[in-house]
Amino acid sequence: MGLQIAFKDFQIFRGMWESPWVGWKNFVDVFQSAKLPQVTLNTIAISLYRLVFGFPVPILFALLLNEIRVLWFKRTIQTVTYFPHFLSWVVFSGIVFNLLGPLGIVNLVLTNLGFAPVNFLTMPEYFRSILVVTGIAKEFGWGAIIYMAALSGIDPQQYEAAKIDGAGKLRQIWHVTLPGIRSVIALMLVLSLGGILDAGFDQVFMMYNGAVMGVADIIDTYVYRLGLEEAQYEMATVFGLLKGIIGFTLIVTANAIIRRMGEKSLW
């Protein structure tokens, strides 16, 4: 219902039903926006970096955890790595700022070692890497849960059979563990592709600044500034609608590809 705002001159107090229709005007405004190419490119680039570098990390972490036989150690590691997930980006970005900020710990170490301080957070060449690495650091523990659950479903007899056949640890992982969780990996990949236009608003919003805006400004931060700070709800709705359509198309496409590959798909 709310999507009709994309086609209206939305007047808050009159409500969306009473607001006048304006046809495609809001879409024309969005496509005429000089920032559109930049924020779209940034969004896709950051999302792809997250996918390429971030997607395998929880899988690898789950595989490593799966090999730990000392229960208390395993649980301690799990708890420590889950914990950052429960911190908001407001808090976690503060930790990142205290680490990488101009007066942060890394710069303290650098200056004590006789190097010049580096203002990491204002350097466009570092910013996306910082986003991706800190994003992974915060979420990889939590992301591993689903793979841990999948791993617990693998029949132990398969490992025994592999051992009898002479497979070492790596061979067991390659021939038993990974095939055992392949369908979950495929499922998670489909879902990740659907969210490719969500490059992580909270994190970017808390960490970006004027100096890195050229590489950090994503669709959601642009929509926040225009839609909420400047009360242009129509443009925000247009972006939301377009994101929804593109995300849906990506999910359907990825799902079809995975189904053709013979994996378990969403539908």
Partner 1 sequence: MKNKKMALGTLALLLLSSTVLGCTSNNGNGGAGAGKGTPPAESTVEGAKPEVIKFSYLRPTWGPATYAKGGAYEKELLKQANAEIEVSIIPVIDFDAKINTILAGGDLPDVLWANGPLMERDRDLQEQGAFLPIDDYLEKYPAVKDAVPDGIWEQLRAADGHSYFIPNLIYPITPAPIMYRQDWFEKLGIAEPKTVDELVAALEVIKNSDPDGNGKNDTIPLTAGYEWSFKDVATAWEVSMNGWTPDPNDGNRIIPSIANEKNIDFFVWLQSLYSKGLLDPEFKLNKEPNFAEDKFNAGMAAVIATPWVSYIEKVTKLQKLDPNAKVGIMSPLAGPDGTPGGTRSVFPVDRGFYISAKANDPDGIFRYLNWTLTEGSDFRRYGVEGKTYNVVEGKKVVIPNEQREAGYKGEQIEPLRFLDPISEKLDWDSLQLDYEGAGVGDQFEYVKSKFEEYAQVDYPDWRDYTIASPADAELGARLWNDYMQPVVDSAIISKSATKQSWLDALQKWSNAGGQKIIDEVNGLQMNKNKPDYVN
Give the interface with partner 1 as residue ranges (CB under 8 A).
1, 11-18, 29, 33-35, 93-94, 97, 101-103, 117, 119, 121-122, 206, 209-211, 213-214, 217, 222, 224-226, 228-233, 235
Nearest approach in angstroms of CB 22 to partner 1 is 12
Nearest approach in angstroms of CB 128 to partner 1 is 16
Q: What does 177-240 look like in DSSP terms, one character per residue?
A: IHHHHHHHHHHHHHHHHHTTT---HHHHHHH--GGGHHHH--HHHHHIIIIIIS--HHHHHHHH
Contact (Cβ atoms closer than 8 angstroms) between residue 66 and residue 148? yes
Distance CA 23, CA 233 (A): 15
CB-nearer residue toward partner 1: 64 or 103: 103
Distance CA 227, CA 208 (A): 18
The set of residues, in sequence order, having a beta carbon less than 8 Å from that of 255 and lying 6+ positions away, is 190, 265, 266, 267
Contact (Cβ atoms closer than 8 angstroms) between residue 168 and residue 247? no
Nearest approach in angstroms of CB 221 to partner 1 is 10
Nearest approach in angstroms of CB 230 to partner 1 is 4
CB-nearer residue toward partner 1: 12 or 164: 12
Radius of gyration of the chain (CA): 23
Nearest approach in angstroms of CB 199 to partner 1 is 18
Provide the CA 187 distance to its chain's centre, in angstroms: 16
CB-nearer residue toward partner 1: 8 or 185: 8
CB-nearer residue toward partner 1: 3 or 60: 3
The vertex-60 CA angle with 56 and 63, nearest 5°, equals 145
Nearest approach in angstroms of CB 126 to partner 1 is 13
CB-nearer residue toward partner 1: 161 or 228: 228
Contact (Cβ atoms closer than 8 angstroms) between residue 204 and residue 89? no
Nearest approach in angstroms of CB 2 to partner 1 is 8
Number of separate helices (H) and strands (E) present in the chain: 15, 0
CB-nearer residue toward partner 1: 13 or 72: 13
**End-to-end CA separation in angstroms for the chain:** 26
CB-nearer residue toward partner 1: 3 or 80: 3
CB-nearer residue toward partner 1: 96 or 132: 96
Distance CA 31, CA 197 (A): 16
